[in-house]
Every structure is written in structure tokens, then in C-alpha cells.
Chain A
Amino acid sequence: MRLKLTRDLIRDELITRVQDLSGQSLLQCYQCGKCSAGCPVVHEMDIVPSEVIRLLQLGQLDEALDSKTIWICASCLQCASRCPKGVEFSSICDALRQIVLRKRMATPRVDADDVSAIMVSDAPQMGVVGALRKLNG
């Protein structure tokens, strides 16, 4: 992957927005990789959690927003619980999702109409409500 690093990108106001929304300081992360090692869905991710944080440190917000990663996190908080620096990747993930979902005319990841009838009649309500709140906005 080729990255163009510029001061403007690194200090982009949207990167500050990620920090504000998530309540996390991106520069706290020293890339030990414990979040990625403990994540139960990491093998399905295109960019692993510690890499997402690194990209954000380098101002590459679009890479992070376009990743599959942010949509398959189940907010289990394993990463947050194991981080030696107290960085909660799960919160960063939520912030990235919100940045996408709050855009005008955003396409939600899960549309209420797309939830299968089987799921609605079979799964616990908390699952359907949780998915819609996390992935629909």
C-alpha cells in the first residue's frame, strides 16, 4: 500500500473528530497489536484493528472509513479490555461508523427492510434492535 503523508492529512479536522467522538487519543497507541490478536472476528477483517489506528495516526481517514473492518466489529470490547495503553478500539470503530452513517443520504449497512423475516420472527429482539442501532444509525 502506498501512502502519501502530509501534515494537512495528519492534522485533518476529521481525524480530530474521530478522537472527539470516540473519546480516544490515537497517539496513545504504540502498535503492540494486542487488540488485533484478541479480536474474535479479526480473520474476516481487511484491515486489522491496530492497522486502522495506525492509518488514522497517519491521517488516512478514507482508508479506515472504506474498510470492511468497521462493520463487522460486534462491540465485544475485548480489544479495549486488553489494551495496555487504555485505547478502546471498539469506541474508535463506533466513531468511524457514525461518521459514515451521519452523512446525508448515507446508505445504512443494515436496512430494516433487509432484515429477513426469519430473523425478525426467530431472533431475540435485542439482536435486531442492536444491529439496527449500530449499523443503521
Chain B
Amino acid sequence: MKIPYYPGCTLHERARDFDVSARECAKALGVELEELPIWTCCGAVFPLVTDSVMDILAGVRNLEYASRIGDKLVTLCSFCYNVLKRTNRVMRDDLEKREKANLFLRADTAAREEVESYTKTDYTGQVEVLHYIEMLRDVVGFDELRKKVENGLGGLNVAPYYGCMLLRPKKEMEFDDPEQPTVFEDLLATLGCDIVDFPMKTECCGGFQIVNDEELAVMCSQNVVSSAIKRNADVIVTTCPLCRYNLDKKQEEMIERVRGFRRIPVIYFTQLLGLALGIDEEHIDFSDNYVDPRPVLAEKSLL
């Protein structure tokens, strides 16, 4: 089964490990992620002001590209998912913005030249934007996934970190409850993990503020990391490259700020999924992790 796939800029560059592990896992589950033939940056953040059509155009273009090859679009990065899903909703529900955005699309000569099958039909929000976790739950099915698990991850204490972008705003994302989400836990339970519930699982990691005010973002991340450590987690699992960066790489600074700070690996959920499905370690690729998860995984006999 083929499903259109939007990797986004970060997965193409700094989060190759996320992209490669996700593709390999999908393959093992009988799904081929078909990367869009052309795509651009989605814009990374959804504009919260009401008058901006230009700020959603990048997202609209990518959705329109996706509509040419299928009726679904799977993405992994929480930011891309948030932007594409909210943009899609604008295109579906806001007729004025839809019309304006389509005028831009029609003027987009580059797009017309690159893809022969371009039909000049308006984009009306017909593509269904799915997160990879939703694909696992609704297209593959957790029961089916359970049957394909080769190495149960029993004994590994995993703290699922949702962050913000998957969940909020609830009425638009419709992903899960914004305060007490459970879908990540359901997925991890399918893989046999021991789940660590921690109070900061939906708290912000500081996000893009890492660029503006590093200390502020590190403090936010530290609250999340410390909360998971206190609950005796072995690893934190995330779905967002920016969360991964803030929570993992910035432990370099947390060590200096907090006496006796114990480091904890932060990995992508697809890396854990890869382990469970028995994917080759080279495709899971732990080499980009700042805090190496391999010692703890080896200790639990999972490598």
C-alpha cells in the first residue's frame, strides 16, 4: 500500500534518523511512504493572526502537490503536522482564504511546469492529513502491529513526550485530549514497553525560543527531562525534531546547571518501533543522539 509522504526540511537534513527509521518501519508493516515528487518547507509555524493568507501559502502548495497523487498525506514532524492540518482546515472551511490561496496557486508557474498532470483545479482541503501515529493506528491498526512485533520491549521504562504541536489546539488538531492524551501510550503498550506517566508530557520544551532566548528554552526542557527522570524513565520518546534537539542536545547545558544531573536518552518513537520490529540497527541509527541510548538498551538486552 502506498501513502503520500511529506518529510519536511528537518527530516531531510538534521533528522535523517527519524526519516530513515520511519520509512523502514513502514516498509516492514507493508506500507510504502511515497515521498511527494515536489515539496517545499511548510512554513514551520502556523500564523495565529487572522489576516494572513501569504503565511499559509507554503502549506497550501504542499497540500495541493499531495492532492495530485493521493487522498491522504502522512507526516512525522509535529510542526509540519500542525501546520499542514491547520492550513488544510482553513482551505476547507474559510472560503475567502481558499479563493485567495487558489489565485496564488494558479499563478504558480513553476508548479505548472514541473508536474505535467497539473489540472488547474482548485484545492479545497480534500487531502486528509495524517500523523504517522494515526497511520499506525488507523491504517495499519495496533492489533496488526502487535502481530509484527519481533522483539517485545518489556522492561524498558519509556516516557512518552507529546509536546504541544500534536495536541493543540484540540478542536483543530483532533489528535487526542490536550491534557491527558493516551494514543502514544497505546502505541508503546503495543510494542510491549513499560510506560512511565509523567506530569510534563504535554508541557512545552521551549520550541523555537531556543533561537531567541536559549536559557529560557533550556529551562523549559529541563523541567520536562527532570520530570521524566524523577519517574524513573530509561528513555524519553518524542515525535518532534525540535523537541528532540531541546531535550537531548541541551542536556549538555543542563549538566552544568543542575548538580548531580543524570542524563537520559531522548529518541524518536520510530527508532523504538524499529527495535521492536527487528529492523537493522543501521537504519535505526543512534549516532545522532547526544545522549547515547545504546548502553541502556543493551543493559535491557534490546540491542
Contacts and interface: CB of A to CB of B under 8 A. Distances in A.
Interface in A84-111: 88, 90-91, 93-95, 98, 109-110
Contacts of B204: 40-41, 74, 76, 78
Nearest to B80: A126
Given A22-B49, A77-B164, A126-B242, 13 more contacts: A20-B51, A21-B50, A21-B51, A44-B213, A74-B208, A74-B220, A75-B45, A76-B203, A127-B245, A131-B211, A131-B212, A133-B47, A133-B55
Contacts, number: 141
State which size class the interface on A falls in. Answer: 35 or more
B216 interface: yes
Top 3 nearest A-B pairs by Cβ distance? A76-B204, A130-B208, A131-B211
Contact of A76 (B8, B47, B168, B212): B168
B269 to A, nearest CB: 16
A136 to B, nearest CB: 10
Given A81-B168, A109-B212, A130-B79, A124 B14 contact: yes
A123 interface: yes
A90 B45 contact: no
A74 B245 CA distance: 16
Contacts of B226: none
Contact of B44 (A98, A110, A130): A130
Interface in A111-130: 115, 119, 122-130
| Chain B interface helix/strand/loop/mixed | loop
A71 B122 CA distance: 37
Contacts of A76: 164, 168, 203-204, 207
Nearest to A41: B216
B10 interface: yes
Contact of B41 (A77, A95, A119, A129): A129
Contacts of A125: 9-10, 13-14, 41, 44
